Amino acid sequence: MVESHDIVANDRDDLSEDTEEMEETPIKLTFNIIFVTAEAAPYSKTGGLGDVCGSLPMALAARGHRVMVVSPRYLNGGPSDEKYANAVDLDVRATVHCFGDAQEVAFYHEYRAGVDWVFVDHSSYCRPGTPYGDIYGAFGDNQFRFTLLSHAACEAPLVLPLGGFTYGEKCLFLANDWHAALVPLLLAAKYRPYGVYKDARSIVAIHNIAHQGVEPAVTYNNLGLPPQWYGAVEWIFPTWARAHALDTGETVNVLKGAIAVADRILTVSQGYSWEITTPEGGYGLHELLSSRQSVLNGITNGIDVNDWNPSTDEHIASHYSINDLSGKVQCKTDLQKELGLPIRPDCPLIGFIGRLDYQKGVDIILSAIPELMQNDVQVVMLGSGEKQYEDWMRHTENLFKDKFRAWVGFNVPVSHRITAGCDILLMPSRFEPCGLNQLYAMRYGTIPIVHSTGGLRDTVKDFNPYAQEGNGEGTGWTFSPLTSEKLLDTLKLAIGTYTEHKSSWEGLMKRGMGRDYSWENAAVQYEQVFTWAFIDPPYVR
Ligand SMILES: Nc1ncnc2c1ncn2[C@@H]1O[C@H](COP(=O)(O)OP(=O)(O)O[C@H]2O[C@H](CO)[C@@H](O)[C@H](O)[C@H]2O)[C@@H](O)[C@H]1O
């Protein structure tokens, strides 16, 4: 096993003997990497965070790094518990001091695809619902559950003998979103002052800055940080944002703390890494992020190209590829049949997949539907979230029985079938750190129509039929401003291209399908950022 940060010269015994050859052999640094995350597919997934933390670790492991992913062992008594069936109890217990008490956690482990998948076991992760909540809303003890995760993750490299050896102190923590944001703070406040993790580094990865882990200031003592570190997480809401006259606006914000003390900051596209430094995109953290711009980078997500592959996908009716598109129409008619829509191969089928909330711009689709339904199109929406949108989807289905289908819920196989069966995928997101559905869509020859924001703008190239000597360029349509009128205009353009210009449409499909979406490219950029993290000294107060 290669020690972290050792220099490996591709199995060469004597580096000094052949300097000419040595110049050609790239010297590769390898790292001991600890992902800390609230979700990792296929074990747990409610959205894109699960996808990324389920696939990026494997890409990094394949490049020679030692990679551990630490996430909770969620058990809800249903069939999804089976996903943890291969994870065994390591028989190691850690005691976590937080919330005024000592909590014992256990660690389960599965070694798969070169990655150590470590699941933190505690009774608070065992209950019906999703990782974050149930039908009554978010769990009231999420601060406790993710404080526990962060503490346990900091112990994991020290105490777990995986494959016979611990990861040790010289490692790199990649703390994902607010759920893991306590990790950089714990390294700086709890470990480094006592000489532990002096050579470790931490990176906070922001997948969605709208969620920051904000709780009342009185909960500070629960976090297990020393009293003198309060200022690092202190967060005071401006007067206008306070609930009432007696509200002092004082809270703790763990993501803010992580942004302040992490050795580096990453987000999931370059566009978004700039947007979060602006008042419009920073959700209050833009000034802090601007002050740390020198350690802030954006790396566009890749996707799991094995899981999302139209020529092998186990969830879809027929397989197809860039060289033989014929199976796609079968996926479409099969989807129409499954949804009870009229089976019409030539009718443009438009899809939406995602959380039903403000971020995803569902209200824009809602306002566009009455006019869109005047056209000869079919629409299918898959999603769950805010009740008002779920109710609206069901209601719209009743109004337009032959044209509109609502699939309220979370269903991964159906999401694959919609991605394969539709002609067009809509993503009118208000903001989108990266977005994965447009990447899946392009890989499946489904043309994305997206709001020109964040990662959507970075990844969807606008269609221009006249470029390349009339052969066209681009992989979809981006639109701005975010209004239902603009969405409708863009849809009309797309539908016109679909019905009137079949060869242009095929060109769009093939350019999207031909792109490289694998994690390889992103993994190389992650390595660069890891290298930079170790060049600078760690954060010390
Ligand atoms: N009802 C449903 N049924 C089945 N599958 C469903 C579903 N609703 C959503 N999904 C799936 O969940 C994932 C959503 O990923 P996104 O990246 O598009 O958004 P999300 O906001 O969750 O992620 C955040 O983190 C990711 C990862 O960094 C960023 O790309 C993104 O911009 C950021 O908002 C996709 O795999 C999608 O298919």
Domain 32-210+258-302+521-535 identical in fold to domain 325-515: yes
Q: Confirm or reject: Cβ of 436 under 6 Å from ligand 1.
A: yes
Q: Which ligand 1 atom is nearest residue 412's CA? A: 4
Instruction: Identify the bridge partners of residue 388 per DSSP, sorted by sequence position.
Output: none
pLDDT value, residue 23: 54
pLDDT value, residue 135: 87
- Nearest to 81, CA basis, from 133, 125, 112, 24: 125
Residue 37 CA to residue 50 CA, distance in Å, equals 8
Amino acid at 503: S
Task: Enumerate residues 6+ apart whose C-beta is below 8 A from 186.
Answer: 150, 151, 154, 224, 225
Residue 336 CA to residue 339 CA, distance in Å, equals 5
Residue 403 phi, psi dihedral angles, 5° rounding: -130, -20
Percent of the chain with pLDDT over 70: 95
Q: Using CA of residue 49, residue 51, residue 52, residue 57, what is the dihedral sign?
A: positive
Residue nearest to atom 8 of ligand 1 (CA): 354
Enumerate the domain spans of the chain.
Answer: 32-210+258-302+521-535, 325-515
Residue 129 CA to residue 76 CA, distance in Å, equals 7
Residue 18 CA to residue 22 CA, distance in Å, equals 6
pLDDT value, residue 238: 84
Residue 117 CA to residue 108 CA, distance in Å, equals 8
pLDDT value, residue 12: 35
pLDDT value, residue 452: 98
Percent of the chain with pLDDT over 90: 90
**Tokens describing residue 258:** 């992580």
Question: Nearest 10 degrees: CA dihedral of 502, 507, 513, 517?
Answer: -140
Q: Are 406 and 271 in contact (CB under 8 A)?
A: no
The CATH number of domain 32-210+258-302+521-535 is 3.40.605.10: no
pLDDT value, residue 7: 36
Q: Is 419 exposed, middle or buried, given 0-12, 13-18 or 19+ CB atoms closer than 10 A?
A: buried
If you measure from the C-alpha of residue 75 to the centroid of ligand 1, how many angstroms do you get, rounded to a whole number? 22
Q: Are 166 and 160 in contact (CB under 8 A)?
A: yes
Q: Is 223 exposed, middle or buried, given 0-12, 13-18 or 19+ CB atoms closer than 10 A?
A: buried
Amino acid at 255: L
If you measure from the C-alpha of residue 436 to the centroid of ligand 1, how many angstroms do you get, rounded to a whole number? 6
Amino acid at 411: N
Q: Answer with the residue of higher pLDDT: 99 or 2.
A: 99
pLDDT value, residue 33: 98
Q: Confirm or reject: Cβ of 382 under 6 Å from ligand 1.
A: yes
pLDDT value, residue 14: 40
Q: For residue 343, count other CB atoms closer than 10 A to its CB.
A: 12
> Is pTM, for the whole model, over 0.90?
yes
Q: Which ligand 1 atom is nearest residue 419's CA? A: 38
In the CATH scheme, what is the code of domain 325-515? 3.40.50.2000
- Region 519-530: mean pLDDT is 96
- Region 286-292: mean pLDDT is 98
Tens of pLDDT, residues 19-75 = 455 455 565 789 999 999 999 999 999 999 999 999 999 999 999 999 999 999 999
